[in-house]
């Protein structure tokens, strides 16, 4: 089936494909963008960055701007868009994706509540630096902790509402391949999707 024109809520693809689609709705030429968890720049692989003013930072992967996303050296109301994709797996151990994301180095020993608190602190700082009417892209994934469902995307939405954001859109990204099985004794459906919230500062 050929793809219909337009931007849809769900894709079976990768992060850079999703950001490309989202950019068609929520980025405009000349936008000042802060990617405060830049990593290796995966989000931007398919986007012509010459159209935008991108300020990448990451405490581990940006030697020239190793900023903690909870304490950024930016002025209030200074960006049109903020992109936020922190580690979202609690106490991750030796995950197969660790070389790319370095979760083990940042969230080892964390519980789910610690992950959500990281989101809260990063979203507070995002709210500070984004302009009124501007957007904050927040990537997240639900998880299981001690055999209980932890619906991170709902907790993050509630945080956003308390801060004064409006939930403008929610995208679902389904993995192209099945996730690596770390626990053989299955008690819940295995999670093979993540979310991208688009929040707007009221």
In a domain, residue 1? The reply is: no
In a domain, residue 19? The reply is: yes
Q: In degrees, to the nearest 5, what angle opens at C-alpha 91 toward C-alphas 137 and 195? A: 25
User: pLDDT tens for residues 57-96?
Assistant: 999 899 999 999 999 999 999 999 999 999 866 455 554 5
Number of domains in the chain: 1
Tokens linked to 56: 């990448």
In a domain, residue 168? The reply is: yes
User: What's the CATH number where 131 sits?
Assistant: 3.40.50.150
In a domain, residue 169? The reply is: yes
In a domain, residue 62? The reply is: yes
pLDDT at res. 1:
41
Task: Provide the whole-model pTM.
Answer: 0.88
Kindly provide the b/e burial profile for residues 124-134, where b requires at least 16 CB atoms within 10 angstroms of the residue's own CB.
ebbbbbbeeeb
Q: What is the percent of the chain where pLDDT is above 70? A: 85
Q: Which range of residues forms the domain containing residue 154?
A: 10-201
In a domain, residue 104? The reply is: yes
In a domain, residue 3? The reply is: no
* Residue spans of the chain under pLDDT 70: 1-3, 88-108, 179-183
């Amino acid at each position: 089936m050929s793809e219909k024109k337009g931007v849809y809520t769900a894709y079976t693809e990768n992060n850079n494909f999703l950001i490309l689609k989202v950019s068609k709705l929520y980025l405009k030429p000349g936008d000042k963008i802060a990617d405060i968890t830049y990593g290796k720049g995966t989000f931007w692989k398919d986007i012509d960055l010459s159209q935008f003013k991108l300020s990448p930072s990451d405490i581990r992967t940006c030697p020239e701007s190793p900023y903690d996303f909870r304490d950024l050296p930016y002025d209030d109301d200074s960006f049109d868009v903020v992109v936020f994709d922190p580690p979202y797996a609690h106490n991750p151990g030796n995950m197969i994706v660790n070389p790319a994301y370095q979760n083990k180095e940042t969230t080892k020993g964390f519980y789910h509540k610690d992950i959500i608190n990281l989101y809260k602190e990063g979203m507070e700082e995002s709210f500070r630096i984004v302009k009124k009417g501007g957007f904050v892209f927040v990537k997240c994934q639900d998880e299981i902790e001690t055999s209980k469902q932890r619906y991170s995307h709902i907790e993050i939405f509630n945080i956003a509402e308390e801060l004064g954001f409006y939930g403008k859109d929610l995208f679902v990204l389904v993995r192209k391949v099945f996730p690596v099985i770390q626990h053989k004794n299955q008690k819940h459906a295995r999670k093979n999707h993540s979310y991208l919230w688009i929040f707007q500062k009221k």
